[in-house]
Amino acid sequence: MTQLLIVEDELDLAEGLRFNLEQEDYQVDLAETGEDALRMLLAEPHKDYDLVILDVMLPGISGFDVAEEMRRNGQFVPILMLTARGHSEDVLKGFTAGADDYLTKPFELEILIARLRGLLRRGQWTRAQSPAQPPEPDSFVFGGKSVHFDLLELHVRGEIFKLTLMEMNVLRHLIRNAGRPVARGAMLEAVWGLREDTDTRALDNFIVRLRRYIEDDPGKPRHLISVRGVGYRFDATPQ
């Protein structure tokens, strides 16, 4: 049975979500604080949850901090973040922390369940293909490295790095446009559905993290290239 963890300090909301999700045949545990959630996720022994529904505003450490700590400790279970504020900056902060999707409160239960199912399928990171189009490859090889989109993995010099859904979305979009400059604003719109005039600093943070995985010398990148005044370009076979 699929196991979910709900991290929410509004007990009425948490209990209501648990009741409704259990009716959908999910097994649900609750945590009221970020500290409780991290103990349940990281302390030994712990359950292997399939998905975490994580509120941003928690007593003690925030949902952003919980997501960052999970990713820092190699916990790559999908995170659906709940926020009372739908500002683009908050959304990007959640994605930068490691969230895979977000919902703004209040929300409809049917929407939450649809988002949850999409994340559980791990298919949400790829856009739907038209029947006339061949499916995109599940992996991409360049410079002795390989990206495995379906596994959310990057293989570099014998090491395997697990990427978050959003890290993979950014990398995939750049690979799709290999050799061409991609504007920061255009990437925000294509990857996250945010307006092009949204602050792009969070995107720059994603690039910094990806360079640490991909580049032999992140200070002198050869694959993820900055294009002054525009954005970034991916080069599979740099000169």
This model's pTM is above 0.85: no
Reported as a single tens digit per residue, the pLDDT across 176-230 is 999 999 998 888 888 776 665 556 677 888 899 899 999 999 999 999 999 999 9
At the top level of CATH, which class does the domain 139-234 belong to? Answer: mainly alpha
d(CA 66, CA 172) in angstroms, rounded, equals 26
Share in percent of the chain as helix, strand, coil (round to 5): 40, 20, 40
Q: Where are the domains of the chain?
A: 3-121, 139-234
- Sheet order of strands, 101-104 included: 27-31, 3-7, 51-55, 79-83, 101-104
CB 84 within 8 A of CB 56: yes
How far is 195 from 147, CA to CA, in rounded Å?
A: 28
Distance in Å from the first CA to the final CA of the chain = 50
Residues of the chain with pLDDT under 70: 86-87, 122-137, 193-200, 238-239
- CATH code linked to domain 3-121: 3.40.50.2300
